[in-house]
Amino acid sequence: MEALPALRAALLAWYRAERRRLPWREFPSVYATVVSEFMLQQTQVDTMLPYFERWMALWPSFEALAQASPEAVLHTWQGLGYYSRARNLLKLAQAVVQLGAIPGDPQQWRQFPGVGAYTAAAIMSIALNFPIACVDGNIVRIATRLTGDHRCYKDSGSAARALDGFCQELLNRENPGDHNQALMELGATVCRKSKPLCGLCPLRPFCKASQSGTPELFPHFEPKRFTSIQLERFFCHKNDALLLFRHGLEARRLAGFYELPLVEALQTPKGALLYLGKRSISTQRFEEAIYAPKTIEAVADTTAEPLFWVPIEHLGALTLTGPHRRWIQALLRS
């Protein structure tokens, strides 16, 4: 694009005037950037802000986090979902402390668990002023709209790889951190997936999709294929205690988390259907039917791990998955 200098200048001026005042921007550090980037994977800013503030109060540095227990980390993270992020963040802090220095190269950051090309570029550019472009879903959307890119991509990851060259060319190499954050901010607040606010966009004079009148049609992705999964669970409540199942520490997604036990785990007849819960994890859609056991006496003596009778008063301190916490609270109220 011949107008790159003007585009970069317009973007940077807009960002410095209009950006949201976020804690990791107002009080920047490598650690704050790392924590914010991990939390913002798959999570909106408004949702993660209180989690970020609690996290930083508990563990304000790599050294502090490295000393935390996995249980405490997961408990603080619960409600944000995608819990592998929390486990990877703990491992990263421990690795940085063991290394004894902050890595100064994107490839070094990519050796840490949970750090891909985008996260490495974000950390290096924002916290260390390294000239490298970030390419996430927001920036994919901006890049395809700027260029009027009609290609159909399999997913956001494949689009990011295809558009990386353009984004590196677009980069303001004198202010890479502010440039990358400006594009992230623009995608989150103005160049939105639906109903983009083109009238407020500093890049409108350079944008082919806006000039076409149909910017919301970009980018083009293949339709996602979702898998439906039906599960049956028991709600076993007796003597102010609840029977729960704990996922093993080797579990890929929910290591150490508690949920209601599956019917097949107890091998006892079902009673009344109490609740029908629904949730999604990635491209899997779960429908979870929750039953009372036909007789509570059939499970009252269950004590073997991974099944535990947990006093109701202790549920608040337990690391429960978000949907199961909501469903349990609803069932207890009823």
Q: Are 203 and 7 in contact (CB under 8 A)?
A: yes
Please name the fold of domain 4-221.
Endonuclease III; domain 1 (1.10.340)
Q: What would the mean pLDDT of 226-251 be, rounded to a whole number?
A: 90
What pTM was estimated for this model as a whole?
0.78
Residue 2 in this model has a pLDDT that exceeds 90: no
Beta bridge partners of 310: 242
Q: What would the mean pLDDT of 55-65 be, rounded to a whole number?
A: 98
Please name the fold of domain 227-333.
Nucleoside Triphosphate Pyrophosphohydrolase (3.90.79)
Beta bridge partners of 308: 244
Segment 23-31 long-range contacts (CB within 8 Å, at least 24 positions apart): 23/49, 23/52, 23/53, 23/56, 24/52, 25/181, 28/126, 28/127, 29/127, 30/102, 30/123, 30/127, 30/128, 31/60, 31/61, 31/62
Residue 37 a catalytic site member: yes
When pLDDT is cut at 50, 70 and 90, the band that residue 1 belongs to is: low
Residue 253: the pLDDT is 75
pLDDT tens digits, 82-141: 888 999 999 999 999 999 999 999 999 999 999 999 999 999 999 999 999 999 999 999
Residue listed under structure tokens 């440039």: 179
Q: What would the mean pLDDT of 12-16 be, rounded to a whole number?
A: 97
Euclidean distance between CA atoms 143 and 15, whole angstroms: 17
Q: Which of 26, 37, 174, 288 is flagged as catalytic?
A: 37
Euclidean distance between CA atoms 276 and 270, whole angstroms: 14
